[in-house]
Structure 1
Amino acid sequence: MRIGAHVDATDPLDEAALRKADAVQFFLADPQGWKAPQPRADAALLRGSEVDVYIHAPYVINLATTNNRIRIPSRKLLLGHAGAAAEVGAKGLIVHGGHVNAGDDLTVGFDNWRKAFAQVAESGGHGVPVFIENTAGGDNACARRFDNLARLWDAVGEYGVGFCLDTCHAHAGGEDLLDIVDRVKAITGRIDLIHANGSKDSFDSGRDRHDNLANGTIDPDLVVEVVRTAGAPVIVETPGGVDGQATDIAYLRDRVGR
């Protein structure tokens, strides 16, 4: 099983070595901004490395919204990040599920997702697998509650989109981890990546604050069981820098094989 961490983008391979990680995830641009990613001098090293690379798209991307000033630039930005992710040999590009504004029809949000993927499919696809990630908060979210996730998958599943399951987001979003792998696979048919995170906040809090696996409000045995049963690569997005993440990686390696 490949287990790694979300790291600073400056020197991801060095960060992987410090954590004894099999994989890294990082941003290619400001996660809160709209700037396109720039070519990386280490692209060939990343492509040729034994370390698996995953790219997280900026948080500002929202393909569901009815606001044209956000949705249309979001499509362009996601496509740009997909191209840049392919350049570094990424195994996947992770993007959040998005939301509509209060009072808007969520059905329109799902259709906006469908239109975005259909448009790209007509021009040859994203060039890298895109994984939609479940989110922690929002009453108008497309991928917080799994009844909405099912509607989202009805809209985009035919385009080969992947799924990233975040344990903190599920817990904070009100989805029990106990049988979550079976429930997700019943909807999506797949789990391509696990974000194995603890949570600082309570079940169904709607708050996205990660914690280390041995801390917080999630029973770490539940996270271990998610990782074991999903059989997918794992990224920890936990605090504590090198020491905190290396501890979480070692924790999972030690327990998943039991």
Structure 2
Amino acid sequence: MRIGAHVDSADPLAEAAARGADAVQFFLSDPQGWKAPTARADAAALTTSDVAIYIHAPYVLNVATTNNRIRIPSRKLMVSHARAAAAVGAAGLIVHGGHVNKGDDLAVGFDNWRKTFAYAADNGGLDTPILIENTAGGDNACARRLDALARLWDAIGDHEVGFCLDTCHAHAGGEELLGLVDRVKAITGRIDLVHANNSKDPFDSGRDRHDNLAAGVIDPEVLAAVIAAAGAPAIVETPGGVDGQATDIAYLRGKLGG
């Protein structure tokens, strides 16, 4: 099992080596901005590396929203990031499930996801698999609760789309971790990546604050069991820089092997 970390984008391979990671995740542009990614000087090194590469889309991206000023540029941004992710050999582009505005019909958000894949197909396709990530908060979210995730998959499951399970988000979003993998796979048929994070906040708090695996409110043994059951590569998005993440990676290796 590949185990790695979310790292700074300046030199991801050096960051991986520093942590003893065999997978890395990073941003290709400002996570809070709308600029399309540019070509990277280290693209060849990333593509040929033994380290598995994952790219996280900017946080501002929300293809589900009914707000045209956000939804339309979000579609374009997702396509541009998918193509740029392919240029660095990424195994997937992680995109948050998004949400609609208060008072809007959540069904519109699911249909907007469907339209996003149609838009991508009409504009040359997606060169990197899209991995939709569950989110922690919001009553209007498309991928916080599993009942919403099921409706989302009804809308887009026929497309080439995968799933990224974030353990902190699931806990904070109100989904019990025990048995979660089976419940998710019953909906999506797959888990392609795990964001292995503990939580600083209580169950169903709706708060997205990650903690190191042995430091948060979730039993680390439960986290390890969920990650083992998922059978997918794991990325820690935990605090503490090199030392904190290296400790988390070593913990998972000790529990899971790989």
Question: Do they superpose with TM above 0.5?
Answer: yes
For residues 23 and 236 of structure 1, the distance between their equivalents in structure 2, rounded to whole angstroms, comes to 10
Equivalent residue number for residue 144 of structure 1: 144
For residues 118 and 168 of structure 1, the distance between their equivalents in structure 2, rounded to whole angstroms, comes to 31
1:208 Cα deviation after fit: 0.2
Matched to 2:240, the amino acid is: G
Unaligned runs of 5+ residues in structure 1 are none
SS in 2 for 1:191: coil
For residues 31 and 124 of structure 2, the distance between their equivalents in structure 1, rounded to whole angstroms, comes to 26
Pair 1:245 & 2:245 matched: yes
For residues 256 and 35 of structure 2, the distance between their equivalents in structure 1, rounded to whole angstroms, comes to 39
Query: For the aligned residues, what is the CA RMSD?
Result: 1.0
For residues 193 and 113 of structure 1, the distance between their equivalents in structure 2, rounded to whole angstroms, comes to 20
Task: Check conservation: 1:121, 1:159, Cα contact below 8 A.
Answer: no
SS in 2 for 1:55: strand
For residues 140 and 172 of structure 2, the distance between their equivalents in structure 1, rounded to whole angstroms, comes to 15
Task: Check conservation: 2:75, 2:119, Cα contact below 8 A.
Answer: no
For residues 68-147 of structure 1, what are the structure 2 equivalents within 5 Å?
Answer: 68-147=68-147
1:119 Cα deviation after fit: 2.1
SS in 2 for 1:24: strand
For residues 253 and 125 of structure 1, the distance between their equivalents in structure 2, rounded to whole angstroms, comes to 36
Show CA shifts across 1:112-141 (max 9, x none). Answer: 000111221244421111100000000000
Equivalent residue number for residue 212 of structure 1: 212
SS in 2 for 1:221: helix
Equivalent residue number for residue 229 of structure 1: 229
SS in 2 for 1:159: coil
For residues 118 and 165 of structure 2, the distance between their equivalents in structure 1, rounded to whole angstroms, comes to 23
Equivalent residue number for residue 23 of structure 2: 23
Equivalent residue number for residue 41 of structure 2: 41
> What count of residue pairs does the alignment treat as equivalent?
258
Equivalent residue number for residue 166 of structure 1: 166
1:256 Cα deviation after fit: 1.6
Q: Structure 1 segments of 4 or more deviating over 4 A?
A: none
For residues 157 and 39 of structure 1, the distance between their equivalents in structure 2, rounded to whole angstroms, comes to 31
Equivalent residue number for residue 194 of structure 1: 194
Equivalent residue number for residue 179 of structure 1: 179
SS in 2 for 1:242: helix
Show CA shifts across 1:57-94 (max 9, x none). Answer: 00000010000000000000001111110000000000
Matched to 1:252, the amino acid is: L
For residues 222 and 198 of structure 2, the distance between their equivalents in structure 1, rounded to whole angstroms, comes to 10
For residues 179 and 124 of structure 1, the distance between their equivalents in structure 2, rounded to whole angstroms, comes to 39
Matched to 1:232, the amino acid is: A
Equivalent residue number for residue 62 of structure 1: 62
For residues 122 and 160 of structure 2, the distance between their equivalents in structure 1, rounded to whole angstroms, comes to 14
Show CA shifts across 1:127-178 (max 9, x none). Answer: 1111000000000000000000000000111002000000000000000000
Task: Check conservation: 1:133, 1:164, Cα contact below 8 A.
Answer: yes
Task: Check conservation: 1:4, 1:234, Cα contact below 8 A.
Answer: yes
Task: Check conservation: 1:118, 1:159, Cα contact below 8 A.
Answer: no
- Percent sequence identity over matched residues? 76
TM-score, normalization by structure 1 = 0.99
Unaligned runs of 5+ residues in structure 2 are none
SS in 2 for 1:162: strand
For residues 237 and 121 of structure 2, the distance between their equivalents in structure 1, rounded to whole angstroms, comes to 31
For residues 222 and 195 of structure 2, the distance between their equivalents in structure 1, rounded to whole angstroms, comes to 13
TM-score, normalization by structure 2 = 0.99
